[in-house]
Structure formats: structure tokens, C-alpha cells
């Protein structure tokens, strides 16, 4: 049976390491330096998978690869092992956002669930953006107000220079002395969540943002 043991962001991270090796090979470095680059990349990848079986570690081993074809083949072989984003039902989403009576899920055909650390879609009529992600195998979600004018900036989630919108959400945190106080937090997030998901190499910024928004 095909084991899907790689998370989307881990797959992106591995690909980034492979690109580092590929670039280093082109630089005609002394062989000991090149070997150090390869060993470091291999160690960084293995570090992501502390519970990997020996067969899985063999699959993740980049040290034997020599050619461009071998690098491409390596990445292609890992791709089917990336875990899919869980199926999300209309009912689950309605429960998460009870105030949004007319909320529609994105068209499943437009989502690449095999390349997703978070699911996001925009409601253009209301300039709202929705984000779903998983925490301890549970789906959590937040609703954001997105600025309508996109611009180039660094996305907080994937850390790439991209077309982003400034997105603001109201946290649930309340001040004891002032029950009417609502705190807003905002950040730049890629307008195109598919490319954001292709570039995320860790979940830190995404999880911090969503968890801060949901913290009571």
C-alpha cells in the first residue's frame, strides 16, 4: 500500500533542499565542500522524519543522486507520498462559521488537495477570506477581511515575495475589564493560496496566526 507519510510543507522543504544541492553542483565546488552540502541537506531532511522507517529513509536519501534527471525523478517519486488535505463537508464549514448563512465551499475541482497545508477561498462579494487548517487532526478555521487591492509583498505563511492581500481577523481574546474590546490582528497573505501552498516549507506562521485568532 502506498504510504502518504509526507506533509505538503515537508515535500516543499525537501524540494528546496534538492534545489540547493542541484545549484551547488553547478558551482564547481571542491568535492569536500559539495559533499558537506549534500550531507547537510540529507540530515535536514531526515530530521523532519524522526519516526521514519528505514524504507522511508531510503526513499528520502538524496546522497546518491547525481544528475538533473535523478533529482527530478526523486521528487516525482515522492509526490504520491504526500498526504492529502482531509475532506471537508459543507456541514463542518457551517459549524465553524455559523454566522455566515450563505457560505459556499470552494469548488472541489479547483482545489489540489494533494498539495495543501491549508485550504483557503475568497468570498469576493464581501472581501472575506476563509482559512482552514488542521491542528491535532482536527479542522480549525478562521474568517478574515481581505483588502481588495493586492500588492507585492512578503507573504507571512510562505515567506515568498508574491501578490498578497492584507488580511485582518478579530481575535476571540477578551479583556476582563473591557468586554467590548475586540483585538484585530492582521498580516499579508498570498492572494493565490495554491501557489502559497506550493511554497510553504513550514507551518509555524500559519499555525501561530490561526491559533492567535482563535485563542479565547
Cell output for 46 = 531526515
**Taking the complex as a whole, how short is the minimal distance between the CB of residue 8 and Zn ion, in angstroms?**
13
Name the one range near Zn ion by CB under 5 A: 136-144, 154-162, 180-188, 208-216.
154-162
Report if residue 111 touches Zn ion, rule: CB under 5 A.
no
Could you tell me what percentage of the chain is helix, strand and coil, using 3-state DSSP and rounding each to the nearest 5? 40, 20, 40
Give the interface size with Zn ion as a residue count (CB under 5 A): 5
Establish if 45 lies at the interface with Zn ion (CB under 5 A): no
Whether the CB-CB separation of 155 and 162 falls below 8 Å is answered with yes
Cα distance between residue 13 and residue 197, in whole Å: 12
Beta bridge partners of 170: 184
**Min dist. Cβ of residue 192 to Zn ion (A):** 8
Beta bridge partner(s), residue 167: 146, 187
Q: Does 158 bind Zn ion (CB under 5 A)?
A: yes
d(CA 69, CA 67): 5
> 78, 49 in Cβ contact below 8 A?
no
133 binds Zn ion (CB under 5 A): no
Interface with Zn ion, residue 11, by CB under 5 A: no
157 part of the interface to Zn ion, by CB under 5 A: yes
**Nearest residue (CB) to Zn ion, 142 versus 196:** 196
Among the listed residues 41, 11, 6, 7, the one whose alpha carbon sits nearest the alpha carbon of residue 23: 41
The CB-of-145 to Zn ion minimum distance in angstroms stands at: 18
Q: For Zn ion, what does the binding mask look like between residues 171 and 210, x meaning CB under 5 A? A: -------------------x-----x--------------
132/190 with CB nearer Zn ion? 190
Q: CA end-to-end span of the chain, whole Å?
A: 42
The residue from 155, 167, 203, 213 that contacts Zn ion (CB under 5 A) is: 155
In angstroms, what is the minimal distance from the CB of 193 to Zn ion?
8
Amino acid at each position: 500500500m502506498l504510504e502518504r507519510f509526507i506533509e505538503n510543507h515537508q515535500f516543499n522543504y525537501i524540494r528546496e533542499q534538492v534545489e540547493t544541492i542541484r545549484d551547488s553542483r553547478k558551482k564547481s565546488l571542491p568535492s569536500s565542500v559539495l559533499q558537506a552540502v549534500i550531507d547537510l541537506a540529507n540530515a535536514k531532511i531526515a530530521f523532519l522524519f524522526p519516526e521514519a522507517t528505514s524504507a522511508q529513509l531510503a526513499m528520502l536519501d538524496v546522497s546518491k543522486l547525481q544528475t538533473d534527471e535523478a533529482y527530478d525523478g526523486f521528487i516525482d517519486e515522492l509526490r504520491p507520498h504526500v498526504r492529502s488535505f482531509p475532506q471537508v463537508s459543507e456541514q463542518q464549514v457551517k459549524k465553524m462559521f455559523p454566522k455566515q448563512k450563505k457560505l459556499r465551499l470552494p469548488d472541489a475541482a479547483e482545489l489540489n488537495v494533494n498539495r495543501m497545508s491549508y485550504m483557503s477561498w475568497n468570498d469576493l462579494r464581501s472581501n472575506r477570506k476563509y482559512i482552514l487548517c488542521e491542528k491535532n487532526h482536527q479542522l480549525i478555521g478562521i474568517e478574515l477581511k481581505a483588502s481588495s487591492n493586492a500588492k507585492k509583498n512578503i507573504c507571512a505563511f510562505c515567506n515568498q515575495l508574491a501578490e498578497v492581500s492584507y488580511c485582518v481577523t478579530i481575535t476571540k481574546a477578551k479583556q476582563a475589564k473591557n468586554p467590548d474590546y475586540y483585538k484585530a490582528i492582521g498580516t499579508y497573505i498570498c492572494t493565490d493560496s495554491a501557489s502559497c501552498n506550493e511554497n510553504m516549507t513550514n507551518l509555524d506562521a500559519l499555525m501561530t496566526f490561526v491559533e492567535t485568532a482563535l485563542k479565547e
